[in-house]
Amino acid sequence: MTPHCNIASFPANRIVTRRQAGGTTDAEAYYTRCFTINRHWKNRKRKIHYLFTDGKEMAEEYDLKTDELTVRKWRHKSPLGAQGQWQVEVGEPLADPVTSLDPEVIKESCSNPVFTRKDTKTSFQWRIRNLPYHKDVFSVSVEPSERCIIIKTSNKKYYKKFVVPDLDRSQLPLDSSAISFTHSNNTLIVSYKKPKEILTLEQELLKELKKLKGTGEGDVDCKTQ
């Protein structure tokens, strides 16, 4: 049976104000939303596919039990109109395609640090696995001029600079007092407490998403109307 999806369009002055349409500022822009539910009993998810008028796509997945965002990824079209690769913002990185079975081909070591983002209801959260150092070695700070967070170690074994796209889209400042971090089992966990504006935005958006009905299993390739 062909999966079914519901599609609806919304004016930008209600939605783009919160989402910034992936960077779009045109007040008359709108986006089309395709909503499906994966009904697999082991992995119940709410899947939403956003199509923006500038050609960008955003796909999100929410846990149906906790309503927590588990995946957010973006895809942009090339200047010639070809679909680009998905870029993960929240969730586990996409696996690289296997390009060779030759054991002599150089591959990324599985012991290299792995940077992922996994949010909670109240915090943006990043996890960096394979960092076998003591917590005292790490420092996490905010660089206001570059609107980024910087992680570094005193032994100069690790350095990472990254932005918080949600704050950029909402044009909110970075607050150094909102950052905390811990380290356990060779994993550094960095948390940034979500500002009230983000919490309100997410609560309102989730209410709208719950109003949409979805049936069928699997992903649906949706087209704008």
- Tell me what the mean pLDDT of segment 114-120 comes to: 95
* pLDDT, averaged across the chain: 76
Tokens of 35: 């909503």
Hey, what long-range contacts does 46-50 have (CB within 8 A, 24 or more apart)? 46/209, 46/214, 47/214, 47/219, 48/209, 49/5, 49/219, 49/220, 49/222, 50/19
Over residues 179-189, the pLDDT tens digits come to: 999 999 999 99
Report the pLDDT value the prediction gives residue 43, as an integer from 0 to 100: 62
Over residues 49-78, the pLDDT tens digits come to: 888 777 788 889 998 888 999 999 999 888
Of 83-97, 137-151, 206-220, where does mean pLDDT reach its minimum?
Answer: 206-220
- Of the segments 83-92, 148-157, 214-223, which one has the largest average pLDDT value? 148-157
With contact defined as beta carbons under 8 Å apart, do 34 and 53 qualify?
no
Report the pLDDT value the prediction gives residue 30, as an integer from 0 to 100: 31
Helices in the chain by DSSP H: which ranges? 12-19, 165-169, 196-211
- Tell me what the mean pLDDT of segment 99-124 comes to: 76
Report the pLDDT value the prediction gives residue 156, as an integer from 0 to 100: 95
The larger pLDDT score, comparing residue 220 to residue 51, is at 51
Over residues 119-154, the pLDDT tens digits come to: 999 999 999 999 999 999 999 999 988 999 999 999
With contact defined as beta carbons under 8 Å apart, do 37 and 65 qualify?
no
Q: What values do phi and psi take at 9, rounded to 5?
A: -110, 145
Q: Please name the residue that has the structure tokens 């939605």.
A: 15
Please compute, for residue 178, the number of CA atoms within 13 A of its CA located in the half-sphere on the CB side: 17
Report the pLDDT value the prediction gives residue 31, as an integer from 0 to 100: 35
Is the predicted pLDDT of residue 33 greater than 50, yes or no? no
Helices in 25-184 by DSSP H: which ranges? 165-169
Report the pLDDT value the prediction gives residue 23, as an integer from 0 to 100: 44
